[in-house]
Amino acid sequence: MAKIILEVRTRGLSQYHRLEQFPVTVGRALDNDIILSDPAISPHHIQINQTEDGSLTVQNLSQENGTFLEGNKLGEGPVSLPVPAHLTLGGRKLNLLSDEVPVTPTNLLKFSGLFCFASKPVWAIILFVSCTLALFTEKYTTTFLSKGVWFYLSDVLINLGILASFALVLSLMTWIASHRWALVPALSITFLLSLLKSVLVVLGGIFAYFFTSDSPDSWLSTLYNTVLVTGILYLYQRWASYLRPLPALGIAILLASPLLVIEALGQLDRITQDGEFSGDPSYNQTLSAFNIHAGGMLPLDDYMQKATEALPSQVDDSDNNE
**Residues in touch with another protein (CB under 8 A):** 140-142, 144-147, 212, 277-289, 291, 293, 295-304, 306-308, 310-311, 313-316, 321
- Is residue 251 exposed (0-12), middle (13-18) or buried (19+ Cβ within 10 Å)? buried
| 109 contacts 176 by C-beta, under 8 angstroms | no
Q: Which is nearer to another protein, 138 or 263 (CB)?
A: 138
Q: How open is the CA angle 262-267-273, to the nearest 5 degrees?
A: 125
Q: Minimum Å distance from CB 322 to another protein?
A: 10
Cis, bond preceding 82 (omega within 30 deg of 0): no
CB-facing half-sphere around the CA of 118: CA atoms within 13 A: 25
Q: Minimum Å distance from CB 140 to another protein?
A: 7
Smallest CA-to-CA distance from 115 within 222, 248, 204, 247 is with 248
Q: Which is nearer to another protein, 105 or 275 (CB)?
A: 275
Q: Minimum Å distance from CB 285 to another protein?
A: 5
Q: Which is nearer to another protein, 63 or 321 (CB)?
A: 321
Smallest CA-to-CA distance from 178 within 239, 101, 113, 102 is with 239
Q: Which is nearer to another protein, 64 or 309 (CB)?
A: 309
Q: Which is nearer to another protein, 32 or 286 (CB)?
A: 286
Q: Minimum Å distance from CB 309 to another protein?
A: 9
Q: Minimum Å distance from CB 293 to another protein?
A: 6
Q: Which is nearer to another protein, 93 or 293 (CB)?
A: 293
Smallest CA-to-CA distance from 42 within 20, 65, 59 is with 65
Q: How open is the CA angle 127-120-243, to the nearest 5 degrees?
A: 100
Cα–Cα distance measured from residue 190 to residue 163, given in angstroms and rounded to the nearest whole number:
6
Q: Which is nearer to another protein, 104 or 314 (CB)?
A: 314
Q: Minimum Å distance from CB 206 to another protein?
A: 10
Cα–Cα distance measured from residue 302 to residue 308, given in angstroms and rounded to the nearest whole number:
10
Q: Minimum Å distance from CB 116 to another protein?
A: 34
